[in-house]
Amino acid sequence: MHPDLKAVIELQQIDLRITELTAQIDSLPTEIQNLEAQLNEFIHTYEERKQRLVQNQKERRELEGEIRSIATRISKHKDQLYEVKTNEQYRAMLKEIEGEEAKIHKIEDQILEEMIEAEQLEKHIHDAAARLDGEKARVASEVTQLQALRQTDVEERERLEKQRQDDAAGLSAGILDMYERVRRARRGRAVAEVREDFCTACNVRLRPQLFNEVRANQALLTCENCSRILYYVEPPPAESAEAQGADARTSA
């Protein structure tokens, strides 16, 4: 293989890896933030339910207090029944008592609802409390792993950037220009492998003469469709033997 061709293939491998590393380095802080946000959400919900339970218990105590004061009023009214002078007053008093009793039933229903809510809250709080330490440990460990990965990525990228400078310095200015120009025009990929007689980047078939030249890997040739620098890799022997076998069967 021509040394310049070998050099641009290597340069492309380095550039693709640098791009990949940069994408990962840039996305890791968001991933870490998302993990921490999940944990905060979990803790927030847990705390909110605990507060709601306290509120629920307070509301129940208040409702029970209301029942007691209504019950006191009812027993007072019942005493007053003996003191009324007219039937009209008596009926009015009975009606009052009925009204108060209806209020008690309504409050009892409210208390029942509060009790059902409290039971659900207690279950959620109990489950969350059991999971809380585990969740904290899991997130902390994942965050540590992601931070370590980011550090490894940063170091690898620094190393590759230095290597790229050295490799680029070894190329002639013309070839480096050509590489950079195609790379900019072709979204980061300046070099493409030819498989069979197709450019694998744009899937266009090479003219037979160009294909024969590319196959020799002895010059920097470009795809006539996408302008990428082309190189050829011999298919592994197993594959070609299989293809020959298939051919033999077809002809038999």
What is the smallest separation between the CB atom of 188 and Zn ion, expressed in angstroms? 15
Shortest spacing between CB 199 and Zn ion, in angstroms: 3
- Residue 73 or 215: the one with the smaller Cβ distance to Zn ion is 215
Of 212 and 225, which has the nearer Cβ to Zn ion?
225
Q: How far apart are CA 182 and CA 195, in angstroms?
A: 20
- Tell me whether residue 70 or residue 226 sits nearer to Zn ion (CB atom): 226
Least CB distance to Zn ion at residue 193 (A): 10
Least distance in angstroms from the C-beta of 176 to Zn ion: 21
Nearer to Zn ion (CB atom), residue 139 or residue 230:
230
Residue closer to Zn ion, measured from CB, 74 or 230: 230
In sequence order, the β-bridge partners of residue 232 are: 194
Give me the half-sphere count of Cα atoms (radius 13 Å) on the Cβ side of residue 158: 6
Give the interface with Zn ion as residue ranges (CB under 5 A): 199, 201-202, 223, 225-226
Task: Name the residue nearer to Zn ion (CB basis): 157 or 228.
Answer: 228
Closest CB 153 distance from Zn ion, rounded Å: 31
- Tell me the closest approach of the beta carbon of residue 227 to Zn ion, in angstroms: 7
